[in-house]
Structures are given as structure tokens and as C-alpha cells.
Structure 1
Amino acid sequence: MNLNINFNRHIRKLIVGIAAFLLSLNAFSQNDTVYTVTGDRIVGEIISMKLGVLTFDTDYADKEFQIEWLEVEGLVSSRFFVFYTLDGRRLIGNIKYVEGSERIVRVHTFSASISVSLYEIVEIKPVESKFKDRIKVLLDAGYSFTKSNSTHQLSISANANYQTEKWLWEADYNKVGTYQEQIDASTRTSGGSNFNYFLKGKMFVFAGMEFLSNSEQKLDLRRTAKTGIGYYIFRTNRWYLGTGAGIARSFEKFGGDAPVSDRNFEGMGVIDLNAYDIGDLNLKAKFNLYPGLTAKGIRVNSEFSMKYDLPLEFYVKLSFIHDFDSDPAIDVSKSDFVFQTSIGWEWD
């Protein structure tokens, strides 16, 4: 009898201990503090800061809420984060607000205590970020129909990227098709995958593969493998401008009455612009230049897009894509372009 009583007491003590441990874990996770420029002090959990917005979670709110980064005066957290700065540094440590200063914090790394202005910090990520916190997916589609000539136009695109402290992987797919009765369909399909590895400072190396098929130019397939080195000229909370140079190996297969295939080595130059803190508006522009090395001619791929965020993670997007080849292997148009309007959904 006494053995049963003692056993039950031990079980109750164990349950109480586990409950206390879980409560302490919850209290620890909700131990970050945000100071705002209006004098408010908010206690909760820092989720991340990117694209000029701090995402924060509290016990008293049903869901995470967001604060404009310029509205944040200071942060305090004993947890470890990765802090990305304007000058390309990646600081790993916890953070403490220097009260009485204007947006100055101290990042305590493993080896030093570093004073940093919040104006210099462009991104914050928890060290313990899980897979779902690192991946971003965008899906969008557009459709139009013209009754007079029974013309259907359909566009589908998808983009996914996954980023850690040291590297970034990105993949995209885009297809546009025009279909009309008794006329051959006109289609353009493109996509690819790219991998960036971040070096010290603002430099990174990249490698990737892209493909394109375009019935307008009788291009059954163009496959391009590329590698090179890049550099962020600017990288702030509001926008970044990157550039790069490298080498590419292309394979082309043209259809038509006399099919032709070709392989070439090409140089490569890249300019990449992204402006993401214009209210709910996001602007992107990218230019890829491929001068021939083993054959004459030059290719230029350019893309411009404008995305406007809607409630519930939906968005509308306008995009313009242009392809130019100064010396195509067969007698076809040297250039082609696509203009798309679509509505999409983002998982971030």
C-alpha cells in the first residue's frame, strides 16, 4: 500500500516537473522585447526581419503581426540570430538595445560585442529556423478569351527559393500559350534552377541551368549551363542591386523544315535589381547578357515584373519578358517578347 502511495507521489512530481519545464520553455521563447519609436514596449518572440518588415509573435495575439523596420527603435533577445548588414557582414549572436541611443544595439557574438545601428541591419533570421521558415513559394496564373476568333491565352508561372545563412537555391517555371481553332498553338516555356553560395562580404559564387522553348522562333530547346561570381553593389532594407560575370555552355535545337542543333561557349554578364519596400509593391528587373565565345553573335534575356500584394497572401502581377538573339542559327525573328497579367498566391 505504501509502495503504491509513494509511486503515485513520484508520478505526480514527474508530471508537475514536466509541466513546469514546458512552461519555462514557453516563457523562454516569449522573452524577446521590441521597443518602438513611439515608446511602446512589446514582449513576445522575434520571428524574422526581411524586406523592411519585422515579424513578431505574442501570447495575447491570435496570429503573428508585422512592424515596419523603421518603426523599431530597439530589440532585446537572449536567443541567437543571424544579422545581415549593409556592408555584407553576417553576425551570429544575441542582441541588446542600448537605451538612450538612436536605434543602436549591441550584438554579442561568440568572440566580441559589436555596436550596430538598426539602419545597418537588412535582415534577421533565427539560427534555429526550420525548413518551412526558409522556403518561399509563389504560384500565379492568368487567362483570357476572345470570342470573335475563339482565342484562348493561358499563362502559368511558379517560383520557389530556399535560403540558409550560407547559400540560396532558387527555381522557376513559366509557360504562356495561345490557342485558336484551326491554327497551330503558339507557346513559350522557360524555367531553370540557380544556386548561390555567399562568400565573405558582398561577394558570392553561382551555378545554374536554364531552358527555353519558343514556337515563335522555332526554338525546340535552348539549354544553358552557367557558372560565375557575383557581387552586391547595394543591399538595404528597401532594395538590392547585384551584378555578376561568368561563363556559359549552351545547346540549341531549332525545328522547322530543316532542323538544326548547335553547341557554343558564351560569356555571361548579369544585372539584378529588386525593390521590395514600396508599400505593398514589389519591383524586379533582371538582364542576362551572353556574348558568343566560340560563335559570333550575342544573346540578351531581360525580365521586368511588378507585384502588388493583396490580403490573405494573394497578389496581382504584371510582367514583361524579352528574348533577343543577334545571330540565330536559322532564318527566324531575332527577338520575341511576352506580356503577362496574372493573379497569384504566396507561401512565405
Structure 2
Amino acid sequence: MKNNQVLIGEIKVLENGVMTVETEYSEDDFTIDWSDVKSMKTETDFIIMLSHKYRFNGTISPDPNNEDYLIIYPDQGSKMFAKSLDIVYLKSLEAGFWDRVSANIDAGFSLTKASNTKQVTVSGAVSYLYTRLNIDSYINTLYNVVQDTIATSRNNYGANIKVFFNRSWYILGASDFLKSDEQNLALRTTIQSGAGRNIVRNHKMYLVSAVGFALNTERYDHEEQVSEQSIETFGEVELNIYGIKNVRLSSKFQYFASITEENRNRVNLTLDSKFDLPKDFYIGGNITYNFDSKDDTEGAKSDYVVKSTVGWSF
């Protein structure tokens, strides 16, 4: 450490600027700000990700000739020199499948006596990360009950798969499903395929962007219930900030332009904030916004949800 203390133990994970270490002399794991680490040595192979876009498996040792640098020994290729803050992710290759999985779940509830209104929100996400593979899935539900009758509901769920190359590029596949009473939408299914690039990734934030094509299938809540399909191009930008103590901020913006329907475009926007509490609990806030320029349905062109929640990550 930069204060000259030494920790000996098992590195569980380095992620989002925080390293978790399990030692024999402590009941609880240590969580360490990665910027406080001066040097390190590993005896087993790790999944290693660097800020300048490299992803590989290997071990890490101090540089005996320069204390400001570490030496990385990849399983394949020549050794590399890097400063500690150049390393943005570590995970032991000896970890099993479930050790590579992370998840969170949160919920919110509100009650208004005057109108006998109850609102329930539930959200969750599961992610799996390996050297060149990242799979994540998510679900967001909202039920608004008035006078013991479900007045409105909104359900959104889906999954993403990213396959990474050596440096900053990756290919992606994604599926998203949305049901919105506000937009008179029985179900919108969006299947995406494209390519993306890590623009910035360090111990405080990461920024990625992607472009590609999407197949959009929709059913609206009217008598015919006919499915409609369109082909779209899309562009997206995702920003995550975690360099603020106990605070995580994330946002994702997606723009879809239809190829088969003239003058139609769609926008999806999400903003999330989380403040960490003890024992892996957190309080959070979320804003979700959807816009569709299509004007031949009875539903609204836009829909949004603003919520506050209490959650748990594991």
C-alpha cells in the first residue's frame, strides 16, 4: 500500500476502482481503494484488463528496477510494464462459474391514502464476465394500482452479449422486450447486432459506444393485435462513473432510426445512481425515458419512470 502497509491474502476482484481482498486474519473482506495500492504480486493467473484496452490472462509482479511500475506476464506473448492505475479489472482464473457472476436486486413501494393508490417497482440484473465474454440480463417492472385494480403497468427486460477483441473493439448481440400501457404497447421486441468500442476505461469511469442494426417487432393494444416489423439502424453510448466514494452513476442513451419506415425514430434513455450502504446494501434512484415518433397508434409518443429504491448486490 502507499502507506507502506502490506496485505497478504486472496484477491477476490478488482472492479470499479475497488479491490476486495480476503485474508486469514479478518472475518470480513478488505475493500481497498485501488488508487491506494502501490505494488502487488500474484501467484496465480488472473483475468487482467488494462486501461489501454488490453484484455488477457496472466500474473503480476513488481518491477525491481522501477517501483512505480508492475510487470505483467501474459499466458501468451511478451511481458508488459504498467502502472498500477493502468489495471482496471482483476479476477482469478481459478474462480468458478458462480465467482464470475454478479447480481443486484432492488424494490420500491409507495402508498397514497387519498386515492387509494399503490405503486410497486422491482428491478434486477445479473452479469457474467470472463476474459473476452460479457453477458448481462436485466428486468424492470412497475405496477400502479388504483382502487385495488391494476390501472397501468410497465415491464422491460432483456439481455446483452459482448465478445471482446484484444484491444478496444467488441461485437454485440442484444434483445430487449418492452410492454407499456402508457404507449399502448402490448409488446415491442428489439433484436440488435453490431460492433462497439471502449473509448475510455480507468479506475474512475468507463465510456463505450456502439453502432449496428436492429429488427423491431411490435404489437399494440387494439382489436387487431397485428404484429408489425421494421428494420432500424442504431447508435448507443454508455457512461459509468465510480470514482466518487460510495457513489456509482451510470447512464445509457440509444437512438434508433428506421430504414423501412419513413421519418420514424426512437430514443431510449436510462440514468441510474447508487449510494453504497454497509453489507452490500444501497439506496438508488432511476430515470427511464422512451420516445417513439410513430403517430399512428392511440398511445403516447413518450413514456418515463422516475423511482427511488433500496437494493442489495451480491
Q: Same fold (TM over 0.5)?
A: yes
Larger Cα Rg: Structure 1 or Structure 2? 1
User: How far apart are residue 257 of structure 1 and its match?
Assistant: 5.2
Q: Distance in 2 between matches of 1:314 and 1:77?
A: 30
Separation of aligned partners in 1, 2:120 and 2:148: 18
Contact 2:58 2:72 in 1 (8 A): yes
User: For 1:190-246, what per-residue CA distance to the aligned partner results, in whole angstroms no more than 9, with x for missing partners?
Assistant: 110111101121110000111101111111010111110000110111111100001
The CA deviation at 1:86 is 1.1
Residue 216 to residue 72, structure 1, CA distance change in 2 (3 Å): same
- Percent identical pairs in the alignment equals 28
Q: 1:257/1:182 Cα in 2 relative to 1: closer, same or farther (>3 Å)?
A: farther
For the structure 1 residues 106 and 252, does the alpha-carbon distance in structure 2 shift closer, same or farther, using more than 3 Å as the test?
same
**Structure 1 residue 278 and structure 2 residue 278: aligned?**
no
Task: Note the 1:1-348 alignment, pairs <5 A.
Answer: 36-99=1-64, 101-110=66-75, 111-181=77-147, 185-256=151-222, 259-296=225-262, 297-347=264-314
Distance 1:234 1:306 in 2: 20
**CA displacement at 1:94 relative to structure 2:** 1.8
Shift of 1:266: 0.6
- Alpha-carbon separation, structure 2, partners of 1:77 and 1:200: 22
Asked whether the 8 Å contact 1:260–1:329 carries over to 2, the reply is no
Deviation at 1:102, TM superposition (A): 4.4
Q: Is the 8 A contact 1:260 1:330 kept in 2?
A: no
After the TM superposition, list the runs of 4 or more consecutive aligned residues in structure 1 that deviate by more than 6 angstroms: none
Relative contact order: is structure 1 or structure 2 higher (C-alpha 8 Å, sep ≥ 6)?
A: 2
Shift in alpha-carbon separation, 1:96–1:184, aligned structure 2, 3 A: closer
Tell me: CA distance 1:260–1:113, structure 2 relative to 1, closer, same or farther (3 Å): closer
Please tell me whether the aligned partners of residues 190 and 212 of structure 1 are also in contact (alpha carbons under 8 angstroms).
yes
- Match of 1:43, SS state, is coil
Equivalent residues of 1:175, 1:189 under 8 A apart: yes
More helix by share: 1
Q: Distance in 1 between matches of 2:31 and 2:280?
A: 14
Deviation for aligned residue 1:261: 3.1
**SS, match of residue 132 in structure 1:** helix
Contact 2:103–2:125 (8 Å) recurs in 1: yes
Q: What CA deviation, in whole Å up to 9, does each residue of 1:59-114 have, x standing for no partner?
A: 21123211111111000122212221111112422221125734311112344332
**Cα deviations by residue, 1:157-214 (Å, 9 ceiling, x for unpaired):** 1111111111011111111111111765111111101111011211100001111011
TM-score by length of 1: 0.86
Is residue 172–residue 194 contact of structure 2 (8 Å, CA) maintained in 1? yes
Question: What's the C-alpha RMSD, in Å, of the aligned pairs?
Answer: 1.6
Question: What is the alpha-carbon distance in structure 1 between the residues aligned to residue 239 and residue 179 of structure 2?
Answer: 25
List per-residue Cα deviations over 1:289-343 (Å, max 9, x = no partner): 1100101200001100111111111111100000100114413311111101111
Residue segments in structure 1 that go unaligned for 5+ positions in a row? 1-35
Matched residues in 1 for 2:225 and 2:57: separation?
56
Write the distance in 1 (CA, Å) between the matches of 2:96 and 2:305.
37
Amino acid at match of 2:278: P
Counterpart code for 2:73: H
TM-score (structure 2 length as normaliser): 0.95
CA shift in 2, pair 1:70/1:218, >3 Å? same
Aligned residue pairs, count: 312
